[in-house]
Amino acid sequence: MKFTGSDKLRGQRVFVTGATGFVGARLIPALLENGAVVTALLRSRHGARDLEKTGVNVVVGALCNHGALETALRGQDTLFHLAYDMRATAEKNLSDFDSLFTAAHAAAIGRIIHTSSIVVYDSWPDKDTDETGTMQRPGGSPYRQAKIKMETRLMDGAVPAAILQPTLVYGPGSAFWTDQLAEKLSKGGQVLPEPEGLCNAVFVDDLVQAMLRAAILEDLGQERFIVSGPEPVSWSALLNGYARIIGKGEIRSEPYDMLSERLGPEPVHDGAPDKPSTAARISALGRRLLGRRRFEALVRAVKRRVIAGNEPSYPDRHLLELFAARGRCAITRAQARLGYQPEYSLEKGLAATADYLRNRYG
């Protein structure tokens, strides 16, 4: 992934958390291609050998180990913080972030590139959103509240920080916006509300482009950047694209009010328990024992054997609100400050995801 100014990454020493995750797996090769000297923090040796073969220096440890982190971060120019453990509590993730942030400050890190989320804004997903939006609405998911607190610490800190706020990131390996949707299509299809909303999606490589550009921004302060694709698309366009690739899946529409009534009263999210589900705890254990890739392959195989059916999937409350929302997310600040130019239209993003989807669901 080359772009104007990418030569400034050559020789830059970078430290990456979440290196074996969905975004990290695309970021690491891009950093190496542009000549960066990469160190990756892993929780265990799972995946370490593959990274080391590419020239990545691997450090095995926990985000909560402040002393070891400070030692590992000394001499690094840039910290890319991608890690967030969805199988742990938001409180644990925030504690790990505080440990990392404190260690980075003590190690005199040059800058921090932090991956946050569009969900921090009060206006998301119903209204148009840019970086001037507020984050004061109480409640919401523990994940949202943790991301807001992380951003606040970075904005109030002394270390230059680029806070990237991606919309819905899709592409090979996206658990939520590729795998989850393709799985529903492979089992029968997906019901959408009528009227249908807008999908603010960004292909993973465009997010990586924004991260690389943030790493070379010369006058970086403490700044936020919304990162999305060239234009919002319809949900039916994304889902029909997936269905064409895997050769199965019906997409149909029903009135929003009927779908909402089917779900019953809207739940109150304030004070939602911050604890991992049983499935999340099993997932965490499986990943520790088998490694992420082997465990996820096992889960896919079990689902194919156990879960049968050809009925379209109805959206839960969260998906229904997303499927119906009409808000647009502005990327003008990322374009102006970072020189960010999303290269992946929906058509190009689907083409880049096609082989991945066929291998799993075709």
Query: pLDDT tens digits for the chain (362 residues)?
Result: 887 888 999 999 999 999 999 999 999 999 999 999 999 999 999 899 999 999 999 999 999 999 999 999 999 999 999 999 999 999 999 999 999 999 999 999 999 999 999 999 999 999 999 999 999 998 889 999 999 999 999 999 999 999 999 999 999 999 999 999 999 999 999 999 999 999 999 999 999 999 999 999 999 999 999 999 999 999 999 999 999 999 999 999 999 999 999 998 876 555 555 665 554 445 544 555 555 556 555 655 555 554 456 789 999 999 999 999 999 999 999 999 999 999 999 999 999 999 999 999 97
The answer as to whether 24 is a domain residue is yes
At 34, list the tokens.
């542009």
Distance of alpha carbon 20 from alpha carbon 102, whole angstroms: 23
User: What one-letter code names the amino acid at 243?
Assistant: A
Q: What does residue 261 show for φ and ψ, rounded to 5 degrees?
A: -65, -35
pLDDT of residue 246: 97
Give me the residues paired with residue 224 across strands. Answer: 163
208 part of a folded domain: yes
CATH of the domain at 158: 3.40.50.720
Please report, for residues 92, 174, 181, 244, 356, the alpha-carbon distance to residue 254 in angstroms, rounded to integers and kept in the order given: 40, 27, 18, 21, 30
Give the chain's radius of gyration (CA, Å). Answer: 20
Q: Are 204 and 169 in contact (CB under 8 A)?
A: yes
Per the domain annotation, does 302 fall within a domain?
no
Reduced to 3 states (helix: H, G, I; strand: E, B; else coil), residue 266 is coil
In a domain, 22, yes or no: yes
Size (the chain), residues: 362
Q: Quick one: pLDDT at residue 252?
A: 96
339 dihedral zone (left: phi>0; alpha: psi -120 to 50; beta):
left
Domain assignment of residue 81, yes or no: yes
Q: Is residue 298 included in any domain, yes or no? A: no
Q: Is 306 exposed, middle or buried (0-12, 13-18, 19+ CB in 10 A)?
A: exposed
Given this model, what pLDDT does residue 140 score? 86
Number of domains the chain contains:
1
What tokens appear for 43 in the block? 């929780």
- Whole-model pTM? 0.90
Question: Strands of 57-60's sheet, edge to edge?
Answer: 57-60, 37-42, 13-17, 78-81, 111-115, 161-166, 222-227
Q: Where in the sequence is the domain holding 211, given as residue range(s)? A: 8-174+200-232+327-344
* CA contacts within 13 A on the Cβ side of 31: 30
Give the amino acid at 56.
V
Q: Is residue 41 part of a domain?
A: yes
Rounded distance between C-alpha atoms, residue 170 and residue 203, angstroms: 5
pLDDT value of position 284: 46
The H or E element spanning position 165 is strand 161-166
> What pLDDT does 138 receive?
87
- Within a domain: 65: yes
